[in-house]
Amino acid sequence: MKSILISLLCLVTIVVAAQEKSSKSSPQIPTGTVASQGTAQIGGKSVAYKATTGYLQVQDKEGVHKANMFYVSYIKQGETNLKTRPITFVFNGGPGAASVWLHMGALGPKRIAMTVDGNAQKPPYSIVNNEYSWLDITDLVFIDPVGTGFSKPAEGEKADQFYGFENDVKWVSDFIRQWTSDNNRWGSPKYLAGESYGTTRACGVVEYLMEEYSMYFNGISLISCALDFQTLREFENNDMPFICNLPVYTYAALYHNKLKPAQSQDKDLIAKVEAFALNEYALALLQGDKLTSAQKQSIANSLELYTGISADIYLQHNLRLPSHKFRKYLLDSDDKIIGRYDVRLLMDDPINNRDYAGDDPSYTQISGAFGTAFNEYVRTDLQYKNNLPFYVIGNVQPWKFSDGKYLNVTSELRQAMYTNPYMKVWMANGLYDLATSYFGTQYFVNHMNLSPELQKNISMTYYKGGHMMYFVESELKQLKEDAVKLYQAK
């Protein structure tokens, strides 16, 4: 009997130990959502809202649970007619970025306080009322695709089925369709808002939802556009990024006082640079080795005048200076590097003995601010508990962009606009953004092959900020004013 009792005790000990080990190694994913109430002061008026935080169990067309996608929705209280109340689905890009950037930077009822120049403040970070929130003009649903934020595949499902342009479009679209049905919002005016790769996703999603589920949208907001990756990828034998980035190089040089007085005081300088980029510079790059030494020197001299980088450096780089080297060379004499997302911001170069900028002063501090502040906000204001790590930028690799070398969503956006000629498209661009240049966005729009009537549905706005132009309060205010115009458009 004694040996039997000892055996039973050992068995119980093993089971308990196994349960403890299992609970430690496999954190429980919360099910369902948490509702909370809040009030924001927007435009001098008090806006009461209901926030819903948690997972939507996204299903495939056969009703099989495939993913747990985290979201936060804000629904204005007191609205009685949902057929006149817009709903906007919001996401960021990456790929791999959670929606926290637009959520806590621009659109949500609360935002993270930034410095005057749009950088992160000293930790711990302040969460303040967002008087420029879009909640007074539209309800908001912030979506984190699988692999970002708290979002995970369902148990037993492989993550790679959610990664890549086509997969991502499908599952984000299914989230939107399912949330719309669950919340009875099919009759509401519907909008999308995406930033960076989120603009790529938005063009795919709007076409997919129309083609697959006959869900039509009133408008889409494309913030810091990544629409034609040939204008972005600084690959060998691709001249487009050098042409599209040149005006941003000039904006950077102007901001940091690296141009000669004759150029810096020229009110028409940017117009001249844009014309030079599309004409003499583009033609020179197109000719390649056919250029004579004298022609190369002439182009290099012009590049020096327009960017503050010596002609010799341009000649050493065959007239094609990559952005990661420009960010190093511009303030090299001061041992500073400038930002990629915002060329106005700078930092000490941590490794001086190299000829490129390996860090980004417009991201390093800001990422920490958004990760820390959101983890605080979601647990306090939104009253949501989740012990899984929240990924501001998640690992969603490998990501298949397209079948070709460069992903281009011209066909998706064009098809959506022809299918739904009432849909408005708003593109917001930061003039100091070297990640997705405004000039590249202009190139994309100019090559959409739209009818004159459909061209009128596209509006372009520009801001004195970077990729996240809304970090600068004056530009955040202007962004809201421009958003109102989209939602009021006839």
pLDDT tens, residue by residue, 77-132: 998 899 999 999 999 999 999 999 999 999 999 999 999 999 999 999 999 999 99
Residue type, 246: L
For residue range 327-346, what is the model confidence (pLDDT) as tens digits? 999 999 999 999 999 999 99
Give the DSSP letter string of 261-305.
Answer: HHHHT-TTHHHHHHHHIIIIIHHHHHHGGGS-HHHHHHHHHHHHH
The pLDDT assigned to 358 comes to: 78
The pLDDT assigned to 20 comes to: 41
What is the C-alpha separation between 228 and 210, in angstroms, rounded? 22
Backbone φ, ψ for residue 255 (5° rounding): -60, -40
- What do you get for the CA distance between the two ends of the chain, in Å? 86
The pLDDT assigned to 355 comes to: 79
Backbone φ, ψ for residue 338 (5° rounding): -105, 165
pLDDT band at 402 (very low <50, low <70, confident <90, very high): confident
What is the C-alpha separation between 142 and 169, in angstroms, rounded? 16
User: Strands, DSSP E only, in 137-286?
Assistant: 139-143, 152-153, 190-196, 219-225
In whole numbers, what is the pLDDT of the chain averaged over residues?
93
- Say if residue 453's pLDDT is above 70: yes
The pLDDT assigned to 8 comes to: 38
The pLDDT assigned to 27 comes to: 55
The pLDDT assigned to 12 comes to: 38
What domains are there in the chain, each with its CATH number?
33-230+367-488 (3.40.50.1820), 235-348 (no CATH)
With a pLDDT cut of 70, the percent of the chain lying above it is 94
The pLDDT assigned to 354 comes to: 77
What is the C-alpha separation between 42 and 25, in angstroms, rounded? 44
The pLDDT assigned to 467 comes to: 97
Dihedral of CA atoms 324, 327, 333, 334 in degrees, nearest 10, equals -120
For residue range 14-52, what is the model confidence (pLDDT) as tens digits? 333 444 443 344 456 777 899 999 999 999 999 999 999
Residue with tokens 């739209």: 450
For residue range 123-157, what is the model confidence (pLDDT) as tens digits? 999 999 999 999 999 999 999 999 999 999 999 99
Backbone φ, ψ for residue 198 (5° rounding): -60, -25
DSSP letter for 228, please: B
What's the average model confidence in pLDDT over 347-364? 83
What's the average model confidence in pLDDT over 282-300? 97
With a pLDDT cut of 90, the percent of the chain lying above it is 87
The pLDDT assigned to 313 comes to: 97
What is the C-alpha separation between 12 and 3, in angstroms, rounded? 14
The pLDDT assigned to 16 comes to: 39
Residue type, 202: A
3-state DSSP assignment of residue 181: helix
- Say if residue 459's pLDDT is above 70: yes
Backbone φ, ψ for residue 306 (5° rounding): -90, -15
